[in-house]
């Protein structure tokens, strides 16, 4: 008998792949997609360069200067309402700064008011109370199906038809609504107010952190940590303490009638008020629908389970319904915020000095049409990108992590 011999297989190196030919490279899907994208982008850039070069040649033949040097020239016009000091002796560049600040002011306030009103209306549409549900539905249908420009002009017309300052509509004799806008009492300038505001922001951030810590501890140990009282004390007490340490200033600038108008306090122009109402009330109708659809996207089993474990309605919304609904609500809400910023350009119809309105004046006085329109487009694009980036970060923060 002969013993069977076992052969030990030897490790063989993998066969060398032949170099990819041009034909084989073209059949690679990734390379082909990249080539298409590079070709399209190159064609767009070359077209843009050609158009800009052609426009510059045409303007030079007509003796029209080009470039962005006009931003350092004297503007020669005034802006009636601006957060920063501006006179006709300032430059076009400073005029752009004032216009952007005006746009951001009405846009930020509009986003805040539209969000708060939209959330309330969206929840109200799902209320078991028939009257509340029908009223909120009527609001949504009315404002969503009416052109926004019509709404802005409507509010401007209503405000300008109000009584003059001598017959102003008064609220506790400290706030007055007239055909010249709204006048409110305002704290007299004092550094303590700034520190108090910063402390309030810090207290709110600390309260959010405390709530997240309490939720994490409850999930880990099963024991509920009550932080509501501590958060209320923190948010109310910390700013009050800073205000007291800052000298407890109480001086208020209260508006008073002097001659044909009010002096003192903080004045809100009819143009700003009408644009703010037109933007926020219109977008609130869309946000209400986003909130309603987001809540309805949550499975009924989740809501029934929350009720089965005796969660209160507020806790059910905060811990079960909204965390799941936010995944549906945040992306379309971000689109509405961007739309609100862009629609602020409708303020030109009522004379509010936002970016589009001021840019038209700059084009007329400077003659730099291409540069001014390009700058306006870049500014709107930058604001939209910032909003999209912030909302994407928030969307990631509220995501339910799948385990």
pLDDT per position as a tens digit, 66-79: 677 888 888 888 88
Q: With 50 as the cut, is the pLDDT of residue 231 above it?
A: yes
pLDDT band at 88 (very low <50, low <70, confident <90, very high): confident
Q: With 80 as the cut, is the pLDDT of residue 12 above it?
A: no
Q: With 70 as the cut, is the pLDDT of residue 285 above it?
A: yes
Model confidence over 291-326: pLDDT tens digits?
999 888 887 777 777 777 767 777 777 777 777 888
Using DSSP, state whether 266 is helix, strand or coil: strand
> pLDDT over 90 for what percent of the chain?
34
pLDDT at 1: 46
Which of 36, 56, 37 has its CA nearest to residue 48? Answer: 56
Model confidence over 363-377: pLDDT tens digits?
988 888 888 898 999
CATH architecture of the domain with range 92-165+269-397? Orthogonal Bundle (1.10)
Listed in sequence order, the DSSP H helices in 145-269 are 148-160, 191-221, 228-245
pLDDT at 17: 57
Model confidence over 185-207: pLDDT tens digits?
888 787 888 888 899 999 988 88
Model confidence over 28-86: pLDDT tens digits?
777 778 888 899 999 999 998 888 788 777 777 776 666 778 888 888 888 888 888 88
pLDDT at 141: 94
- What are the extents of the domains in the chain? 92-165+269-397
Q: With 60 as the cut, is the pLDDT of residue 21 above it?
A: no
Beta-carbon contacts of 50 under 8 Å, excluding residues fewer than 6 positions away, are none
Tokens of 132: 């509340």
pLDDT at 15: 59
Q: pLDDT higher for 328 or 26?
A: 328
Least confident of 72-86, 131-145, 215-229, 232-246: 215-229
Tokens of 387: 């909003």
CB 213 within 8 A of CB 221: no
Average pLDDT of the residues of the chain: 84
pLDDT at 319: 73
Model confidence over 92-140: pLDDT tens digits?
999 999 999 999 999 999 999 999 999 999 989 988 889 999 999 999 9
CB 213 within 8 A of CB 231: no
pLDDT at 225: 77
pLDDT at 73: 87
Whole-number Å distance between alpha carbons of 219 and 322:
18
Q: What is the DSSP string of 316-355?
A: HIIIIIHHHHHHHHHHHHHHHHHHHHHHGGGGGGTT---H
- Exposure b/e, 5-38, CB count within 10 A at least 16 = b: eeeeeeeeeeeeeeeeeeeeeeeeeeeeeeeeee
Q: With 60 as the cut, is the pLDDT of residue 149 above it?
A: yes
pLDDT at 112: 94
């Amino acid at each position: 008998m002969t013993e069977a011999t076992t052969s030990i297989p030897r490790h063989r190196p993998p066969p060398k792949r032949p170099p990819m030919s041009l034909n084989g490279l073209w059949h690679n899907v990734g390379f082909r997609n990249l080539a298409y994208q590079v070709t399209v982008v190159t064609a767009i850039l070359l077209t843009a360069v050609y158009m800009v070069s052609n426009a510059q040649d045409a303007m030079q033949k007509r003796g029209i200067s080009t470039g962005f040097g006009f931003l350092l020239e004297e503007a020669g016009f005034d802006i009636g309402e601006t957060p920063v000091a501006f006179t006709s002796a300032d430059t076009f560049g400073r005029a752009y700064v004032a216009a952007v600040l005006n746009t951001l002011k009405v846009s930020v306030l509009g986003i805040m008011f539209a969000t708060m009103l939209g959330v309330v209306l969206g929840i109200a549409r799902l209320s078991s109370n028939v009257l509340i549900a029908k009223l909120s539905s009527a609001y949504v249908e009315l404002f969503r199906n009416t052109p926004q420009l019509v709404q802005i002009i409507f509010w401007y017309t209503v405000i300008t038809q109000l009584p003059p300052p001598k017959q102003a509509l008064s609220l506790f004799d400290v706030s007055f609504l007239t055909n010249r806008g709204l006048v409110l009492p305002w704290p007299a300038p004092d550094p303590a107010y700034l520190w108090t505001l910063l402390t309030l922001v810090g207290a709110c951030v600390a309260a959010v952190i405390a709530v997240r810590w309490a939720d994490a501890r409850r999930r880990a140990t099963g024991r509920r940590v009550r932080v509501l009282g501590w958060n209320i004390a923190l948010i109310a007490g910390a700013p009050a303490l800073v205000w007291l340490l800052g000298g407890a200033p109480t001086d208020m600038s209260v508006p008073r009638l002097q001659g044909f108008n009010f002096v003192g306090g903080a004045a809100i122009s009819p143009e700003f008020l009408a644009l703010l109402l037109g933007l926020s009330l219109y977008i609130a109708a869309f946000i209400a629908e986003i909130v309603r659809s987001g809540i309805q996207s949550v499975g009924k089993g989740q809501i029934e389970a929350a009720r089965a474990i005796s969660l209160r309605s507020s806790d059910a919304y905060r811990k079960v319904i909204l965390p799941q609904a936010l995944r549906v609500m945040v992306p379309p809400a971000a689109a509405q915020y961007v739309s609100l910023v862009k629609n602020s350009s409708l303020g030109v119809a009522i004379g509010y000095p936002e970016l589009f309105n001021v840019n038209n004046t700059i084009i007329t006085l400077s003659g730099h049409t291409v540069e001014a329109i390009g700058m306006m487009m870049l500014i709107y694009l930058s604001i939209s990108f910032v909003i999209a980036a912030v909302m994407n970060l928030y969307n990631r923060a509220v995501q339910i992590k799948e385990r």
